[in-house]
Amino acid sequence: MKTKNITDIREAANLLQKEEVVAFPTETVYGLGANARSDEAVAKIFAAKGRPSDNPLIVHIGALEQLETVASNIPDVAQTLIHHFWPGPLTIVLLKKEGLSDLVTAGLETVGVRMPSHPVALQLLKETQLPIAAPSANVSGRPSPTTGKHVAEDLNGKISGIVDGGPTGIGVESTVIDCTTAIPVILRPGGVTREQIEAVIGTVQFDGSFKNSKEAPKSPGMKYTHYAPNAPLTIVKGSQAFLQNLINEQRMKGNKVGVLTTEENLEAYEADVVLGCGKKVDILSIAQNLYGVLRSFNEYDVNLIYSESFIDLGLGLAVMNRLLKASGYRIIEE
Ligand code: TXA
Ligand code: MG
């Protein structure tokens, strides 16, 4: 299959209406879209990504009126969240309505829905007037794509087209919140922070499994390895001197060592490759660059990677969650 570089949104909408799959930018990461009502179309997403079929997809809508065509029994708390955070990086899990492909919901009674705020995504969704299922547009297990080039690296020849809208704004995925329980539960930290949510609807629950791999995951997607670079990644919680010692030990054994740090600390380590991921004082810049830097490590010949650890408040919670998953929960503490 030849993957087209699409510049006309109408062309992308036409392809989606003809059951084809097309990648498009959102404010979080690039999505790989297909008509959520069509088994044929949604099956193409799973095939292109090599995604396990028990991991449900988020349904994207371009207008509020569409919500009641995909979800039912929408509780007040969800309405409040929608009022405050849509369009934007918040996915709300609700009871589903008949008519969606069972592949989208992986057989669950619920559906995750979001209205993205990226102008290209919104325009495309409005143009198709379809609910669009869209996971991140990467090969399953690889870091999510934050540029059109990342999408092409993974999916060229496997999908009908890519709408390249430049780098995405937030760089990590949407927050997923389950509103089918008495107290809403955050299943995945993301672009809308826990603090922002609690300011609006009060205390929410947190599914601990995103911090601890041993607890059973409630969001099916949370049990798979994600975002991993080729070389094994370990998070280091401790001082620069502690991290430098670890590097030295590995190099003494003949290993080539990569380090993931921030721009402030680029000169702080002596290792084989040192890559900076945004600025420590600006957590948004770290989120924006995280997946790109994880991908970049594959261009270098390193045997292992050590990453500094970041503060897990606000957007930092999503950053640390993705890093933990990329590391397979490997952490060394001083
Ligand atoms: O920012 C985003 O959310 C991006 C962009 C493209 O919108 N999409 C995205 O999709 O991250 P994906 O498929 O990579 O992640 C969807 C997450 C998975 O962890 C999945 O398990 C969870 O949402 N999810 C989807 N539907 C669910 C449901 N009904 N119940 C619980 N979790 C659900
Ligand atoms: Mg994903």
Are residues 15 and 121 both part of a single domain?
yes
Give the per-residue pLDDT at 203: 95
The alpha carbon of 143 and the centre of ligand 2 are apart by a number of angstroms equal to 8
Is residue 224 in a domain? no
Is residue 228 in a domain? no
Q: Residues lining ligand 1, CB < 6 A?
A: 26, 28-29, 31, 55-58, 89, 91, 93, 105, 108, 110-112, 116, 134-136, 173-174, 176, 187-188, 219-222
Is residue 289 in a domain? yes
Q: Which residues of 118-129 are buried (b: 16+ CB within 10 A; e: fewer)?
A: bebbbbbbebbe
Are residues 123 and 203 both part of a single domain?
yes
The residue range of the domain holding 51 is 4-211
- Can you give the CATH number for the domain in which 181 is found? 3.90.870.10
Enter the pTM of the model.
0.95
Is the pLDDT confidence value at 218 over 80? no
The alpha carbon of 236 and the centre of ligand 1 are apart by a number of angstroms equal to 28
Amino acid of residue 218: K
* Mean pLDDT estimate for the chain: 94
The dihedral sign for the CA sequence 54, 77, 30, 276:
negative
Are residues 37 and 85 both part of a single domain?
yes
pLDDT in tens, 220-248: 555 556 777 889 999 999 999 999 999 99
d(CA 81, CA 125): 21
Q: What is the DSSP letter of 254?
A: T
Is the pLDDT confidence value at 92 over 90? yes
Q: By alpha-carbon position, which residue is closest to atom 20 of ligand 1?
A: 221
Are residues 203 and 71 both part of a single domain?
yes
**CB neighbours of 176 closer than 8 A, spacing ≥ 6?**
58, 91, 93, 112, 186, 187, 188, 190, 219
Is residue 299 in a domain? yes
- Can you give the CATH number for the domain in which 258 is found? 3.40.50.11030
Which ligand 1 atom lies nearest to the CA of residue 28? Answer: 1
Give the per-residue pLDDT at 53: 85
Point out which residues pair with 233 in neighbouring strands. Answer: 305
At 217, the pLDDT band (50, 70, 90 cuts) reads very low
Q: Residue 139 has which token pair?
A: 């090969």
Domains held by the chain: number: 2
Pocket test for ligand 1, best of 136, 175, 177, 322 (most atoms within 8 A of CB): 136
Q: By alpha-carbon position, which residue is closest to atom 17 of ligand 1?
A: 221
Q: Which residue, 100, 117, 118, is CA-closest to 109?
A: 100
